[in-house]
Every structure is written in C-alpha cells, then in structure tokens.
Amino acid sequence: MPAFQCPRCRASLTHPTGGDKTLCPKCGQKVLVPMPPPNKTTLGLLPGEEAMDASPSRPGLGWRFWLFAGAAVGLIVVSSGGLLLIAVLSVPAVSDLDAIQGTWRVDDPLADIQRVSFGPSSATFYFRDRESSVWPFALDDKSKRVRFERTIDEDDYRKANNMIGTYELASDSLSLHLAVAGRFRQGNFVLKMRR
C-alpha cells in the first residue's frame, strides 16, 4: 500500500491502489494516489552486511574539491575580466580623419558649394553651377587645423591656391573655418555641413 501526503494539509495517507483518486479524510481535498515505484532488481546482501537505502546516495564532496573549484572560478573571472579590460583598452579611438570621411551636405542654401566628399587624403567639392573640384587636404587632430592644397594652372603659369583654417567635428556636423593662405582676413569663410 503506497504511503503519500495530501498536497493541501500534508496529512499522511495510504491507499491500496496507485493511480486511483481518493479524498483526504482531514481536509476533503481530492488527491490522485501516486503509483508505487517499479520493482527493480537489486544486489543481494551477504551475511553480516548492512542494508543500504534503496536510493543511491552520492558521497559528499570534500573541502579540497570546493577550495579547488573556488580558486578555479576566481581565476577564470579575474583572467576574463583582465582580458575584457585589455580588449577595451586596446580598441583605438576613431581619429578625426576616419570620422570626417564620407559625404557632407552644406547647410547654407545660398552657398555656392552644395556638398563635400572627404576621402583619406582628398576632398571633392561639388558646386551648383560649375564642375566639381578635388583638393588634397591634411588634418591635425591635436590642434584641429586643416589645410587644403591645390595648384591651379592659369595662363601659362602655376599658382598655389592653398586654404588653411580650423575645423569643428561632431558626430553629425562639421564646420570648416577657412582662409586663403597668405591673405589674412580676406577670403575668410565658414562652411557648416551635416551628414
């Protein structure tokens, strides 16, 4: 006869047949009688041996095991944290030269320049009423200075037409404060652009 407990009041119950439904005499809860465990083949006992519990028990893990496991987990956590810190520190910051690359449209609707496309070493200026113009340029991240260099052929002689200035770069905006080299205050202009 299987012995079991009522799930509501925890009263000890017995019933002759597993799988039947019965009522708890104490609280009236309807209870399904659990099936008895199947009959298993077990190892017989030799004379003088003590009977073991039917459910096999695992021997406890000693303190050495837990000490070793704790040390291993601590080492893994520390080393992976160190690797994560090394990975974070080794990611190089994006330089202004990398961030500036791409096409920028000019904010001023009256400006002659419509957009500027920056590559790694040159910028292409797209104008409203004339063809585009490519100018080599150089940036200095520390001083936030920019220099555009271009040599123009005019009437059988070459003249340099360099623009120098500063720049301000944000995630989606770029401002160029430029002047023609050698002409201070003459030809100064600000070009504000967005992605």
Q: What is the CATH number of the domain that holds 143?
A: 2.40.128
Residue 150 lies in a domain: yes
Considering the domain boundaries, does residue 88 fall inside one?
Answer: no
Higher-pLDDT residue of 91, 109 = 109
pLDDT for residue 143: 87
Is residue 173 left, alpha or beta, with left meaning phi > 0 and alpha meaning psi from -120 to 50? Answer: beta
**Residue 161 counted as domain residue:** yes
- 41-45, 75-79, 179-183 — most confident range: 41-45
The answer to whether residues 26 and 101 belong to one domain is: no
Residue of higher predicted confidence among 22 and 35:
22
* 106 and 17 belong to one structural domain: no
Segment 94-123 shows an average pLDDT of 86
Residues composing the chain: 195
The pLDDT value recorded for residue 3 is: 81
Strand-strand pairing, 21-23 and 30-32: antiparallel
Q: Are residues 22 and 103 in the same domain?
A: no
Task: Name the one residue in this structure whose structure tokens are 């992605």.
Answer: 195
Q: Looking at residues 23-43, what average pLDDT do you find?
A: 83
Average of per-residue pLDDT across 154-181: 75
Angle among Cα 58, 61, 67 to the nearest 5 degrees reads 165
- The reply to whether 77 falls in a domain is no
Segment 146-173 shows an average pLDDT of: 73
Both 101 and 189 in one domain: the answer is yes
The model carries a pTM of 0.48
Residue 119 belongs to some domain of the structure: yes
pLDDT bracket for residue 186 (50, 70, 90) = very low
Whether 105 and 192 have beta carbons less than 8 Å apart is answered as: no
Q: What percent of the chain has pLDDT over 70?
A: 70
Is pLDDT at 12 greater than 60 in this prediction?
A: yes
Domain total of the chain: 2
Q: When comparing pLDDT for 76 and 185, which is higher?
A: 76
147 within domain boundaries: yes
Q: For residue 32, give its domain range.
A: 1-36
Mean pLDDT of 173-188: 69
3-state secondary structure 32-59: ECCCCCCCCCCCCCCCCCCCCCCCCCCC
* Total H helices, total E strands in the chain: 2, 14
Can you give the pLDDT at residue 28?
92
pLDDT at position 89, please?
55
What integer is the mean pLDDT of 69-75? 73
pLDDT for 155 equals 56
In a domain, 57, yes or no: no
Residue 26 pLDDT: 92
